[in-house]
Amino acid sequence: MWWIHPLLQRGYASPLDETCVWDLPTADQAQPLQEKFDKFYVHTRKSGAKRPNVNRAIWESVKQTWGIAFVLHLASAGLMLFQPFIIKAILQNLRDEANSLGISSGYALAALLGCVAFCGATTVSAGQFLTTRVACNARMIVINSAFRKILRLSATARRTMDTGEIVTFVGVDSDRVLSAYKLGM
């Protein structure tokens, strides 16, 4: 936790504000994500659809990051599927048989297995990171859209609604979106 200690010290000395922490990358900030979402959502509404597909609009906002995550998961799966072939080659090498990889050195096969396992673990971790990032972006879009809608309500409509209930519903729904996107739905 070496990276959080300076922040804790600063927070102990004086109250923290937005200048104390680093900015999110522009692609993950609420404004650019909301602009992408609104662009697709408005386009869908203008095309005559009765009920615009919110999930499709969220997808249009995060599809590039999700695509990279998908490719990383595919690469990880490929590397995991390659490991049994390397293990089989190592076992064949121990029995002094020719293996399908054409590598005669046991050390080279062991090093190859280590590299493939390391690369597989790294790609699955990077894929999970990007999947979680997409899920957080989707959650941010849901929360931002809901609160923007609440701010546009008329005074009469606001009086008929309990703010606590709205915040609770937004929190629960956004957590469901987060969970769904983390699972790859």
Q: How much is the pTM?
A: 0.78
d(CA 86, CA 69): 26
Q: Which residue has the higher pLDDT, 20 or 144?
A: 144
Largest CA distance in the chain: 84
Helices 106-152 and 54-94: crossing angle in degrees, nearest 10, is: 170
d(CA 86, CA 111): 10
Report domain extents, the chain: 55-182
| Residue 185: band (very low, low, confident or very high) from pLDDT cuts 50, 70, 90 | low
